[in-house]
């Protein structure tokens, strides 16, 4: 089939790793990672990509439902195939059945998140330069007061030793417990190899992604706004 992969730059290393294993001959569109900070804008930009790309059988979304950013997207010319995960964290930690519990007190990182334009590291460096170490630590203690752990997800797609040192240093400065957890690329592998099982939804042209696709029991008010 003729597929278009639309994916966030944050997981570029992971997608590149999967492409070494899976035969994918479609086209790709990389979305700016900063769009994650504005879910409504991300939704708008994703819709533009979907609308403007004609001639594909399927648009494959390399996204979870980050901030409800893909709820409301409409399939226009092609089917939309997407993983039923709440966000990219759930996608990369799909083997953890207790993901909803550990996310309550854990801040998650990968290389992509560490190198992001508005990452925790960039913000800490800014505070350090502007306010000094003592005040920067106080600011971040307040920002991260609901977190206990700083978890680096090892997706086997980047140098875990190098980025582990970076993450561990930040954990020490912010008084968080540093944890390394093995990630999984199985959902991305299935997405790119067209092995769409119960972990995925496929919507046809004219249909829309709604909350029910993610098992949420709620009136789908979001779809009425688009």
Could you write out the DSSP letters of every residue in 173-195? HTT-EEEEEE---HHHHHHHTT-
Q: What is the pLDDT of residue 119?
A: 87
Is 0.85 topped by the overall pTM?
yes
**In a shared domain, residues 100 and 178:** yes
Q: What are 3's strand-pairing partners?
A: 58
69 lies in the same domain as 9: yes
- Confidence (pLDDT) at 216: 60
Instruction: Please indicate, yes or no, whether residues 155 and 200 belong to a single structural domain of this protein.
Output: no
Helix (H) or strand (E) holding 20: none
Instruction: Give the whole-angstrom CA distance, residue 39 versus residue 28.
Output: 21
CA distances from 2 to 7, 60, 163 (A): 16, 11, 36
Q: How many domains does the chain have?
A: 2
In terms of residue numbers, what domain contains 151? 96-182
DSSP state of 214: G
Whether residue 202 sits in one domain with residue 158: no
Q: Are residues 144 and 167 in the same domain?
A: yes
- 189 shares a domain with 173: no
Distance from the Cα of residue 193 to its chain's centroid: 19
* pLDDT (0 to 100) of residue 126: 93
Closest CA to 19 of 33, 5, 31, 8: 5
Are 202 and 165 members of one domain? Answer: no
Six token digits for residue 54? 């004609």
Mapped onto helix, strand or coil, the DSSP state of residue 92 is helix
**Are 172 and 107 within one domain?**
yes
Query: How many CB atoms are closer than 10 A to CB 84?
Result: 16
**How high is the pLDDT of residue 117?**
83
Which stretches within 132-159 are classed as H helix? 133-143
The pLDDT of residue 106 is 96
Q: Are residues 108 and 47 in the same domain?
A: no
Q: Tens-of-pLDDT digits for all 226 residues of the chain? A: 899 999 999 999 999 999 999 999 899 999 999 998 899 999 999 999 999 999 999 999 999 998 899 999 999 999 999 999 999 999 999 999 899 899 999 999 999 999 988 888 889 999 999 999 999 989 998 999 999 999 999 999 999 999 999 999 999 988 999 999 999 999 999 999 999 999 999 999 999 999 999 876 444 444 434 3
Q: What is the DSSP pairing of strand 149-154 with strand 177-182?
A: parallel
> 184: which residues sit within 8 A by CB, 6+ positions away?
92, 93, 94, 95, 155
The verdict on 50 and 119 lying in the same domain is no
**C-alpha distance from residue 99 to each of 86, 93, 104 (Å):** 10, 7, 9
CA distances, 128 to each of 140, 146, 147, 166 (Å): 10, 21, 20, 16
In the chain, the DSSP E strands lie at: 3-8, 27-31, 58-62, 79-83, 106-109, 149-154, 177-182, 200-203
Both 109 and 55 in one domain: the answer is: no
User: Are 83 and 7 part of one and the same domain?
Assistant: yes
């Amino acid at each position: 089939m003729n597929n278009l992969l639309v994916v966030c730059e944050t997981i570029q290393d992971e997608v590149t790793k999967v492409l070494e294993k899976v035969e994918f001959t479609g086209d790709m569109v990389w979305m700016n990672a900063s769009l994650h900070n504005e879910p409504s804008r991300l939704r708008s930009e994703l819709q533009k990509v979907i609308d403007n790309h004609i001639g594909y059988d399927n648009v494959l979304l390399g996204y979870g439902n980050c901030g409800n950013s893909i709820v409301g997207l409409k399939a226009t010319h092609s089917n939309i195939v997407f993983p039923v995960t709440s966000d990219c964290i759930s996608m990369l930690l799909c083997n953890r059945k207790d993901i909803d519990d550990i996310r309550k007190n854990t801040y998650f990182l990968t290389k992509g998140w560490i190198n992001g334009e508005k990452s925790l590291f960039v913000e800490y460096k800014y505070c350090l330069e502007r306010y000094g170490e003592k005040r920067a630590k106080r600011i971040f203690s307040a920002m991260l007061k609901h977190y206990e752990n700083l978890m680096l997800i090892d997706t086997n797609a980047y140098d875990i030793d190098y980025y582990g040192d970076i993450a561990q240093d930040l954990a020490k400065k912010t008084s968080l417990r540093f944890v390394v957890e093995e990630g999984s690329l199985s959902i991305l592998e299935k997405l790119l190899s067209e092995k769409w099982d119960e972990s995925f939804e496929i919507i046809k042209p004219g249909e829309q992604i709604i909350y029910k696709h993610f098992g949420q029991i709620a009136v789908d008010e979001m779809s009425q706004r688009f």
